[in-house]
Amino acid sequence: TYEQAGVIYCTVPKAGSTFWKRIFIAVNSKVCTWFVCFSMSREEVHSPNHRAAQEGNTNFTKYPIRLVVTRDPYSRLLSAYLDKLYLPALWSLHGVAIAKKRYQHSLSNRRQDFLRKHFNEIAKVFDNNSSKSKCGKYVTFSEFVESSFRIYDKHWWPVHKICNPCKFKPTHIIRMETFSADAKVILSHMKVENIVQRLEGSAQIDEEINIISYFNFHRFYRNFTLAFYKPCLSPKEIAYRLWYNFRWRGYIDPDVDYKLPELTDLKDIEEDFMVQVRAARKSGLQNPNRMKAAKNEFRKKVFLSLSKAIFEKISQVYAMDFELYGFTDIRDELYAYYSS
């Protein structure tokens, strides 16, 4: 909340939540300058010390501006996969369980998933065994989606279940698809127009590349996560997965490959990766249509790895979000893949 401006924000993960939480931390802090707040790690931003308003603990309607940020459910689901299951964040929490379930059942009736081939290639480079389930590191998008129906997690749960519109009664709804223009209205009301520059051009994507890279290089080798992740994941594999993550999101030149360095130290590998990824970002900006085409091609392939029945089930799960927030055009566009 920001009492001075009468604004309350309901946090929806995978819909710009890190950006908005930084804003609210900054405007409410007496010691956190803008530079410091926007230099905070993702982990610190989302710590319990900086909880945003959710259901059950606030009289929402006393705030004149009640903000919810929405996103096309399919993009949000894919983003959750890339950020949390392709990258390591939820391997220990969900990845292991999903992988074990896969090996309890025959895969003979399943279509060949193109991500399985990708994981086989990763395994040849890094650990020579893509069938391992103990790490939860080789979960494909289709396996994740089928399991997501049974797993409650705020990163892919429908927006209306996270921010109940009947209780929160939002006055302002921002769509990720028009994020910059929509956000400026709220930022202007909060009198923080100076932050608008962070929404301009490619600055937001540049910042996201930095945030995601830093989080993944620094999160998994600490004492409380070391025992699980050290046997499962090398710093070079983190870099390799980050590269594909950014390529599939349309952030970097899809024609530039990551060059595995002859390095062993985590810090050296991270620094080398950042040099390479920034160069690939710069190269990609010379031909943004090429980045967009690669992103769209990946999106099509990954959704076609789902059966038509599973896609229809996703659409049912998010039916209320479609009714409340739109995005039916995107649903129809993806559905057309299964008819062509």
pLDDT, one tens digit per residue, over 132-185 is 678 999 999 999 999 998 888 999 999 999 999 999 999 999 999 888 889 889
Looking at 260, 290, 320, which one is the last position of a domain?
A: 290
Number of domains in the chain: 2
Q: Are residues 190 and 214 in the same domain?
A: no
Looking at 290, 315, 331, which one is the last position of a domain?
A: 290
Query: Are 232 and 91 in contact, with CB atoms under 8 Å apart?
Result: yes
Q: Are residues 120 and 269 in the same domain?
A: yes
Considering the domain boundaries, does residue 229 fall inside one?
yes
Considering the domain boundaries, does residue 328 fall inside one?
no
Q: Are residues 125 and 228 in the same domain?
A: yes
Q: Are residues 10 and 138 in the same domain?
A: no
Residue 242: give the domain boundaries. 82-152+205-290
Q: Are residues 240 and 146 in the same domain?
A: yes
Q: Are residues 13 and 47 in the same domain?
A: yes
What is the model's pTM? 0.91
Q: Are residues 275 and 141 in the same domain?
A: yes
pLDDT in tens, 267-283: 999 999 999 999 999 99
The mean of the pLDDT values for the chain is 88
Considering the domain boundaries, does residue 340 fall inside one?
no
Considering the domain boundaries, does residue 162 fall inside one?
no
CA dist., res. 148 & res. 212, Å (int):
23
Considering the domain boundaries, does residue 161 fall inside one?
no
Question: Which spans in 220-335 are helix H?
Answer: 223-229, 235-248, 266-285, 288-304, 308-317, 319-325, 328-335
Considering the domain boundaries, does residue 318 fall inside one?
no
pLDDT above 60 (res 110): no
Q: Are residues 102 and 231 in the same domain?
A: yes
Q: Are residues 181 and 249 in the same domain?
A: no
Q: Are residues 119 and 10 in the same domain?
A: no
Distance, C-alpha 200 to centroid of its chain? 20
Considering the domain boundaries, does residue 99 fall inside one?
yes
Q: Are residues 194 and 209 in the same domain?
A: no
Considering the domain boundaries, does residue 216 fall inside one?
yes
Q: Are residues 98 and 115 in the same domain?
A: yes
Residue 34: pLDDT band (50, 70, 90) is low
CA dist., res. 74 & res. 148, Å (int):
13
